Amino acid sequence: MNTDSIFTTDLFLLDNPNDLISIDKWQKTVNLLAELFEAPAGFLVQYTKEGFQVTISSEQETNPYPSGIVIDPQANIFCRKIVETGEALYVNNAMLDPCWDTNPEVHNDGFRSYLGVPVFWPCGSAFGTFCVMDYQETDYKKSYIELITQLKELLESDLALIGSYAQMQQLAITDPLCNVNNRRGFNILAEQRIKLAKRTGGLLCLLYLDIDQFKCVNDKFGHGVGDAVLQSVAQVLSDTVREADVVGRLGGDEFVALIALDNMSGLANIKQRLTDAFEKVQNASSIPKVTVSIGSTFITESEDISDLLDAADRDMLDKKRGLAR
Ligand SMILES: Nc1nc2c(ncn2[C@@H]2O[C@H](COP(=O)(O)OP(=O)(O)OP(=O)(O)O)[C@@H](O)[C@H]2O)c(=O)[nH]1
């Protein structure tokens, strides 16, 4: 599973704190780094499109950059080089290399030496850097690079924890066969969407879909083919509604979608689009042809999600009986 899609790596952690991260522990690690290197400044820096944010800054009077400051993403700072290359960087005397002529850390703040290593999110994308800076030229031994690498692995293990937790949360709300929300996930997301629509006055409609005579598909072609039919229904439903709409599989051959509509007459249109899309996909593939009964209900102020599901289910059953007649 791609953790990139599960948790956000493009927002600053300081602005979006995560309960799994102990900033206190990270602070101690950065302080320890500066102490072990006898350096006047040590940092954990996060990179996003917005720039480089000092997430943690060693607590020393000699350190000019406090936690929270954001440096322009285009600035020619040492950390930028690490994010661009994905590799450790050791500059023992920046005055000797013209590539740092425009580095504000060197020319505005007087730093001469930098040692930093890349820090990665569990998905492999760059979180940022873990680094020390010194106002004097340095001559760090190889073992120092091993030391900073060991310390940054402590930070990465916390980032991995965020990844595993997000992955577990995702698994708990996802239907493994059809890769859409399961009942729990659908209810959580639908409730959020309904609350939002009540505040903004948007029109929402709940669709309830049930495959007709699905048992016969299993009986005639086997469960593997039945599974493929379920997957294709989930795919068509997800592809037909908007990305912001919520799709779920309640279980068996029952699917739901909470969709935003511009007006009530849009409902007939979306049902027709769904019916056409199911037919088109089935004509183009080798899976058995099935029809789908679609019930619906508009969202009203008073009802909760289980009442709404009941109402849409009843409407679907009415449609199915009409179909049987
Ligand atoms: N292949 C497959 N079948 C499933 C799965 N979950 C439930 N089913 C089957 O889906 C069928 C649903 O049958 P019913 O609820 O009787 O519905 P139906 O045959 O579609 O009949 P109507 O709803 O009246 O049209 C049952 O045979 C279940 O065994 C699954 O994950 N995979």
pLDDT band for position 3 (cuts 50, 70, 90) = very low
Give the pLDDT confidence of 209-238 residue by residue, as tens digits. 999 999 999 999 999 999 999 999 999 999
Give the pLDDT confidence of 134-190 residue by residue, as tens digits. 999 999 999 999 999 999 998 999 899 888 888 888 889 999 999 999 999 999 999
pLDDT band for position 199 (cuts 50, 70, 90) = confident
The CATH homologous superfamily for domain 3-172 is GAF domain (3.30.450.40)
Give the pLDDT confidence of 264-295 residue by residue, as tens digits. 999 999 999 999 999 999 898 889 999 999 99
Whether residue 109 contacts residue 75, with contact meaning beta carbons closer than 8 Å, is answered with: no
From ligand 1's centre to the CA of 117, what distance in Å?
54
Taking the CA of residue 227 as reference, the ligand 1 atom at the shortest distance is 1
Q: Which CATH number fits domain 183-324: 3.40.50.450, 3.30.70.270, 3.40.50.720, 1.10.1840.10?
A: 3.30.70.270
Q: Whose CA is nearest to atom 32 of ligand 1?
A: 227
Give the pLDDT confidence of 80-99 residue by residue, as tens digits. 999 999 999 999 999 999 99
Q: Is 242 exposed, middle or buried (0-12, 13-18, 19+ CB in 10 A)?
A: exposed
Each domain of the chain, given as residue ranges in start order, spans 3-172, 183-324
Q: What is the DSSP string of 131-165?
A: EEEESS-----HHHHHHHHHHHHHHHHHHHHHHHH
From ligand 1's centre to the CA of 254, what distance in Å?
9
ipTM of the complex: 0.94
